[in-house]
């Protein structure tokens, strides 16, 4: 492909001297695990997010799992989440023998629908996992009200929305995605908005007790060496990844601005085209465009993707199969047709390349290619 969904090489080239030096230093010190680079990144991320505690871990899926482990939930407890997300969100619920309760999304933001959450709450519900899908925050004010009313935990899956700002429509207070609920979870998978050169993840919280417990859980449930207070996991961010992330964190606002600019170019190019619905940003959130995901109206999606691929332009579908239709998650509680918006989106969304290295020339080639197919179809 000439144009991939991301351009990690292009991004690396711009920070190569800094990154190479940082990696070399760790190799020379052999401080591979738990070295000063991890602590430095943790502190800098806490400051950036305005959150009391960042707990680095091995990946975003572990972050979600450790968050749920720290809440002291029992098998059979229900956790509400969206049916339109990456599998990791529901996977950890199922792994811990909790019951995933799936709900539909809003048609305009593709994020979890608070009205659907409200209907899904039962006496067994213990937590809600909103996913800030594609880079904008879910309707956290409405979600928090439901959580407060029913005494539920909120664990935010902010793997796609690090650095997004949420502004509470009632108080006007702006906070970072992942710091709005009880616990926030993110991923530093290379293609994420803040991506490592391998796997990585982190957990955020303002709650001292939860932070203390999660720090122990990620370290084999061990507060004092070889004394294990909980059944834990081994989930560490390694020093090389932390050093790279520390450098990239300094560029994160630039990166988000570049993504927004690219999204605006696409929006303008497709404006008023009845065959394409461009992504909407809700008024209470900024959008950091982890993905640029549009809805196709009566366009042959496979045909368009092939047309683009023939011109060496990547495209992707996030996500082609809703969680309730996934083989491993089939459940008599759910059937096709239960989540009409999710199901419609799964059939009609398509994402275009979006990253920090796009130029208007590249974007023009991409949008021309899209429009050529869409307008003749
Ligand atoms: C990427 C992602 C995860 C998982 O992150 P990993 O680091 O790959 O484990 C979880 N949830 C969402 C929404 C994601 O996009």
2 in a structural domain: no
Instruction: Determine how β-strand 153-157 pairs with β-strand 125-129.
Output: parallel
How many structural domains does the chain have? 2
The verdict on 197 and 262 lying in the same domain is: no
Can you tell me the distance from the alpha carbon of 87 to that of 319, in angstroms, rounded to the nearest whole number?
10
The reply to whether 301 falls in a domain is: yes
Mutate to test the pocket of ligand 1, among 88, 193, 201 (most ligand atoms within 8 A of CB): 88
Q: Are residues 318 and 225 in the same domain?
A: no
Long-range contacts of 206-212 (CB under 8 A, 24+ apart): 206/51, 206/52, 206/53, 206/179, 207/52, 207/53, 207/182, 207/183, 208/52, 208/53, 210/70, 210/71, 210/182, 210/183, 211/52, 211/53, 211/55
**Domain end marker among 249, 274, 302:** 249
- The predicted-structure confidence for 11-31, as pLDDT tens digits, reads as follows 999 999 999 999 999 999 999
Is 109 within a domain? yes
Q: Indicate if the pLDDT at residue 377 is higher than 70.
A: no
| pLDDT score at 162 | 98
Q: Are residues 137 and 275 in the same domain?
A: no
Predicted pLDDT at 308: 98
Do residues 101 and 216 share a domain? Answer: yes
For residue 85, which atom of ligand 1 is closest to its CA? Answer: 13
Burial zone of 46 (CB within 10 Å; 0-12 exposed, 13-18 middle, 19+ buried): middle
Q: How many CB atoms lie within 10 A of CB 84?
A: 29
Could you read off the pLDDT of 104-121 as tens digits, one per residue? 999 999 999 999 999 999
> Is ligand 1 within 6 A of the CB of residue 87?
no
In the chain, % of residues over pLDDT 70: 100
Q: Is residue 351 part of a domain?
A: yes
Report how far residue 343's alpha carbon sits from residue 57's, in angstroms, rounded to the nearest whole number.
33
Q: What is the CATH number of the domain that holds 351?
A: 3.90.1150.10
Report whether the peptide linkage leading into residue 294 is cis, meaning its omega lies within 30 degrees of zero.
Answer: no
Query: What is the average pLDDT score of the chain?
Result: 97
Q: pLDDT band for position 221 (50/70/90)?
A: very high
264 and 275 housed in the same domain: yes
Answer yes or no: is the C-beta of 12 below 6 A from any ligand 1 atom: no
Verify that 268 and 180 share a domain, yes or no.
Answer: no
Other Cβ atoms closer than 10 A to 303: 11
Which 3 state secondary structure label does DSSP give 115?
A: helix
Query: Residues 239, 333: one domain?
Result: no
Query: Is 3 part of a structural domain of the chain?
Result: no
Once rounded to an integer, what is the mean pLDDT over residues 266-277?
Answer: 97
Chain length of the chain = 377
Here the tokens at position 132 are: 């800030």
Residues 34 and 97 in one domain: yes
Among 221, 249, 277, which residue terminates a domain?
249
Which residue among 225, 249, 273 closes a domain?
249
Q: Is residue 150 located within the same domain as residue 187? A: yes
Closest ligand 1 atom number to CA of residue 201 = 7
What is the domain-level CATH number for residue 104?
A: 3.40.640.10
Percent of the chain whose predicted confidence (pLDDT) is above 90: 99
Q: Is 154 in the pocket of ligand 1 (CB under 6 A)?
A: no
Token pair in block for residue 333: 């509680």
Q: Quick one: 26 and 88 in the same domain?
A: yes
For residue range 138-181, list pLDDT tens digits in order. 999 999 999 999 999 999 999 999 999 999 999 999 999 999 99
The CA 189 to ligand 1 mean position distance, Å, reads 7
Token pair, residue 137, equals 């925050």
Q: How many CB atoms lie within 10 A of CB 142?
A: 18
244 and 295 assigned to the same domain: no
Whether 1 maps to a domain, the answer reads no
Q: Report how far residue 263's alpha carbon sits from residue 367's, in angstroms, rounded to the nearest whole number.
A: 11
How far apart are the CA of 177 and the centre of ligand 1, in A?
15
pLDDT at 251: 98
- Closest to 144 (Cα-Cα) out of 174, 111, 118, 176: 118
DSSP 278: P
DSSP class of 131? B
Q: What span, in angstroms and rounded, lies between the C-alpha atoms of 238 and 256?
A: 25
Give which of 207, 257, 264 is closest to 67, Cα–Cα: 207
- Give yes or no: residues 51 and 150 share one domain: yes
Cα distance between residue 120 and residue 312, in whole Å? 44
Residue located via tokens 């020379």: 28
CA-wise closest residue to 42 among 181, 241, 209 = 241
Q: Does the beta carbon of 57 sit less than 6 angstroms from any atom of ligand 1?
A: no
In a domain, 365, yes or no: yes
- pLDDT at position 357: 97
CB atoms within 10 A of CB 250: 12
Structure tokens at 204: 């955020």
Give the pLDDT band (50/70/90) at residue 237: very high
**Any domain includes 148:** yes
Contact 71, 311 (CB under 8 A): no
Instruction: Note if the pTM is more than 0.85.
Output: yes
Q: Which domain holds residue 75?
A: 8-249
Is the pLDDT at 246 greater than 90, yes or no? yes
CA of 88 to the centre of ligand 1 (A): 6
The average pLDDT across 77-90 equals 97
The pLDDT value recorded for residue 248 is 98
């Amino acid at each position: 492909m000439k144009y991939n969904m991301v351009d990690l090489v292009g991004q690396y080239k711009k920070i190569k001297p800094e990154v190479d030096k940082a990696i070399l230093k760790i190799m020379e010190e052999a401080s591979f695990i738990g070295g000063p680079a991890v602590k430095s990144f943790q502190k800098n991320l806490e400051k950036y997010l305005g959150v009391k505690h960042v707990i680095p871990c091995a990946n975003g899926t572990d972050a979600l799992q450790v968050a749920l482990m720290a809440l002291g939930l029992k098998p059979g407890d229900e956790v509400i989440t969206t049916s339109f997300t990456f599998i990791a969100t529901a996977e950890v619920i199922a792994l811990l023998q909790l019951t995933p309760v799936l709900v539909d999304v809003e048609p305009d933001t593709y994020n979890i629908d608070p009205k659907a959450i409200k209907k899904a709450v039962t006496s067994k519900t213990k937590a809600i996992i909103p996913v800030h899908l594609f880079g904008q925050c879910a309707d956290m004010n409405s979600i928090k009200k439901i959580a407060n009313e029913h005494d539920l935990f909120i664990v935010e899956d902010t793997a796609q929305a690090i650095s997004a700002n949420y502004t509470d429509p009632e108080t006007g207070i702006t906070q970072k995605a992942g710091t709005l609920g009880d616990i926030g979870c993110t991923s530093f998978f290379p293609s994420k908005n803040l991506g490592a050169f391998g796997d990585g993840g982190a957990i955020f919280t303002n709650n001292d007790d939860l932070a203390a417990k999660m720090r122990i859980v990620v370290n084999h449930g061990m507060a004092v060496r070889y004394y294990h207070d909980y059944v834990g996991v081994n989930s560490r961010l390694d020093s090389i990844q932390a050093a790279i992330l520390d450098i990239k964190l300094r560029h994160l606002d630039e990166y988000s601005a570049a993504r927004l600019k690219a999204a605006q170019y696409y929006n303008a190019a497709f404006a008023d085209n009845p065959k394409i619905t461009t992504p909407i940003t809700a008024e209470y959130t900024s959008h950091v465009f982890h993905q640029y995901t549009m809805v196709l109206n009566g366009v042959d999606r496979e045909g368009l993707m092939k047309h683009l691929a023939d011109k060496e332009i990547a495209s992707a579908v996030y996500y082609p199969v809703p969680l309730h239709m996934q083989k491993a998650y089939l459940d008599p509680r759910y059937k096709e047709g239960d989540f009409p918006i999710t199901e419609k989106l799964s059939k009609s969304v398509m994402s275009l390349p979006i990253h920090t290295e796009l130029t208007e020339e590249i974007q023009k080639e991409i949008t021309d290619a899209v429009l050529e197919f869409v307008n003749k179809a």
